[in-house]
Structure 1
Amino acid sequence: MSYRLTTDSTLGQCTDLRNVALAVNILATCLLFIVFRPKPIMLYWFLVCIGFWHVALFSQPQQEPPPLDVAFGAFLPTLLVGYGLWRVSWRFTLPAFANAPFEAMVWYLAPYWAGVLTNLTTANIPINQLTADDITQQPGGLTALVIIVLVVVALVVNQVRVIRKTGWLPWYLGWYVSGGLVALALAFLPGLQFRLHHYIISMALFPGTGFPTRLSAICQGFLLGMFLNGVAAFGFASILQTAADLAADGPTGSPLPEFVTNSTTYDPSVPLGNQTIFWSSIPSALVTEGWNGFSLLVDDVERYAGNALNYSLAGLDAGLPHFFRLAYTSRGSAGDFTMPVTLWPNGTWVDPLPGPS
């Protein structure tokens, strides 16, 4: 259901509390570092809880309004993983800054909040999913991936240098090589696609940051924020997913219906209330595949689902532009929708572009 307010409505815009919540939470974390100065492990747990609930309630809730049952369902596993991250990484680094609270605040909090707000800080990076298909289809995706890989490699080389000085390099290499071999084996499982979610990437990189250096602190802050963003916004998604899982609500490659009404046949001299739009029947070849109906979106709201080949425009506001998308349905589920038809108030009909929405 969608709503459109009339010009004489007394209702105003809603209040967006996201920036207020962000300011309060940033201030709270700063005060924890430089004023209250709790024990390192307590400070760590404050960061885990504040970051998780900021994402779950304000910056990137999974639904509107935020589903508390879903958030609490992910919170307990987050605490369990968080304890593991403390054991393998944070407990070796954060205490080293106990006598330098301001420095610790700078090194930890700036990258931490950049990670918590991953949906904003990485919004302009043309990579949606770390899969080969997505990277090749997104304009600039390959270039962005190369830059990210170079940055990660530079950080890894530095951490390898640090680990080598401690004498633990063979031990770390053994575990990372073992993990890489397991990931390689998983990637070749038939019928499934290997998907490195960003919360998994952060978990995998954490052990290599467990050293008392400034760069380790910066990496820990960002990785913790990125981990919390991933699990709070999307849950603990599987490392192996089917093609349908990865497609989500995107195009699936299903056949597309065709509008009979087009820019040539539409008569703008007829009032909108008397207009009817038409589309083609389902080809017999598609009927045998199970496609047996249509779904029509009007202004991105489903207004019709059934077997008819037309839809009356009576009831639509003639003073506003309208958009129509059409899809085949199979057993009540819609396939891909067409690109939108645009009908302007002056009667101009703009045919849809080719391909799915």
Structure 2
Amino acid sequence: MREFTNPPLASAPPVGGLADVVFDHAQEDPLRAAFGRKDENEQWRDVTAAEFRDEVLALAKGLLAQGIRFGDRVAIMSRTRYEWTLFDYALWTIGAHVVPMYSTSSAEQVFWMLHDAQVSAAVVEHEDHAMTIATVIDRLPQLHKLWQLDSGAVQELYEAGAGIDDEVVHRHRRAVTPESIATIIYTSGTTGRPKGCVISHANFMAEASTVIGLMEPIFTSKRDNGASTLLFLPLAHVFGRMVQVAGVLGKVKLGHQPQMHAAVLLPDLAAFQPTFILAVPYIFEKVFNAARRKAEKDGKSAAFEKAVEVAVRYADAIEAKAWGIGAGPSASLRMQHQFFDKVVY
């Protein structure tokens, strides 16, 4: 058997954990828009790096006040939303292990993951999720806490931790090392029950740094507000989680969309205007086909097809340049690309 190896493009730092960048970025550039989230009027508003740091810190205090300790395992069962990322980083701040569960998981699937990972607390999105866990709660004696996002869990925890000093949280954060467990992700498994895959802080940091290195141009957008992406992949899957971690590490403005239906995605893509999106091929196909149908309905078929042609030529030129066999997009092609970028949005 022949073996081929390549040197790693990035490695995890020798100390610290995933949550450190939240505090570092807030100190370096507190007013940078780190996230976009919808308000009560469904309008996107910015969350600065300092605001996110403060929310992570407040939530971490609440979790400590409610008995979550270093090394405890906490499950999250929710669709993709801002609060998932908030809980992820708050739990990582205090050294807890996050166990993600798909929002569509059955009661038996939920039982197996909570039991096998020895989860002591869980965060769910809404009442249906809470009821799913309730049907198996008598078989989970180690599960002591359950918080529901749609019932004010975040505010409840903020208030619970109000009396805890910041330094208590930072002592937990400083105890996290690259080798500490960050998450346990359950795969479907080839046979039998799902298998829990243990992923360390170092694993995620190295992977995210490699992604940023390989895709450096899209992580350093020349747009006025920098790079941004709309995350709609499930955060229970490692791909969605990697997008989240790389986005936070790479200072990409991150938005969340809980639905992958093209009819919902298209308006949010137009409103949020991400500089890039990462997804699996069938999602792009759905969005593309929906956009084409909308263009046809609006009488813009010719403009849409021209935009497709320009986008393909632009992508081919970029790829050729990356492989060292071309000079990249011409000035004319760049202008066409920028023009149709505005047309599409």
TM-score, normalised relative to structure 1 = 0.23
> Larger relative contact order (C-alpha < 8 A, sep ≥ 6)?
2
